[in-house]
């Protein structure tokens, strides 16, 4: 199985084959609107604006599994992100990223990159949030805003801790474009 074999649903419930992103560099992020990391939307949008014309896409998958920090309907999430953070990158239906109901795309992503990159600050963050989550396996998503960078061939290039700042991804993105 490859990333291009997956079909996901956009935030209007329409099927989107990930094969439509072939040849692009992707950043796949599980997000939340009521999280301490929600301001990362601003940095993500800045990256998107800077690199989208060079074949870069951000795919936003809201997830309510971490302390119910993505409440509301998919339409409400879209309105929040557009009005408060000016996001223009594609947003998809709210999904689960861990557990028995985890979206198949996330099951695959985690199998390709079982651990995220990050320094001491990121590891400290993960230790803090561990008490609030049911992270049972090493490969489980630790919190909102965990990031997967996908190269143009559809391979997972890197996985980043939720606290890893989007602006710190620039060199890695540049290297794949």
CATH, residue 116: 3.40.30.10
User: Where does the pLDDT of residue 114 fall: very low under 50, low under 70, confident under 90, or very high at 90 and above?
Assistant: confident
C-beta of residue 44 within 8 angstroms of C-beta of residue 75 = no
- Please indicate, yes or no, if residue 47 is contained in any of the structural domains: yes
Domain residues for 69? 3-14+31-176
For residue 161, which phi and psi values (nearest 5 degrees)? Answer: -55, 150
> Which tens digits make up the pLDDT trace of 126-157?
666 665 666 667 788 889 999 999 999 999 99
Active site residues: 35
- Please indicate, yes or no, if residue 155 is contained in any of the structural domains: yes
Query: Considering the chain, what percentage of its residues have pLDDT values greater than 90?
Result: 77
**What is the pTM for the complete model shown?**
0.92
* Number of domains composing the chain: 1
C-beta of residue 40 within 8 angstroms of C-beta of residue 122 = no
- Please indicate, yes or no, if residue 64 is contained in any of the structural domains: yes
């Amino acid at each position: 199985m490859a990333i291009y074999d997956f079909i996901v649903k956009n935030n209007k419930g329409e099927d989107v084959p990930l094969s439509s992103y072939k040849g692009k560099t992707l950043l796949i992020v599980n997000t939340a609107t009521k999280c301490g990391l929600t301001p990362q939307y601003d940095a993500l949008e800045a990256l998107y604006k800077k690199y989208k014309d060079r074949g870069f896409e951000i795919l936003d998958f809201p997830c309510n599994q971490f302390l119910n920090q993505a409440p509301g309907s998919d339409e409400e999430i879209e309105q929040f992100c557009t009005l408060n953070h000016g996001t223009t990158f594609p947003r998809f239906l709210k999904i689960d990223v861990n557990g028995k109901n985890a979206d198949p795309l996330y099951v695959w992503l985690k199998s390709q990159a079982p651990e995220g990159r990050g320094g001491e600050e990121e590891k400290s963050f993960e230790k803090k949030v561990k008490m609030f989550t049911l992270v049972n396996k090493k490969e489980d998503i630790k919190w909102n805003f965990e990031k997967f960078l996908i190269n143009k061939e559809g391979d997972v290039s890197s996985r980043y801790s939720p606290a890893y700042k989007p602006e710190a991804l620039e060199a890695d993105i540049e290297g794949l474009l």
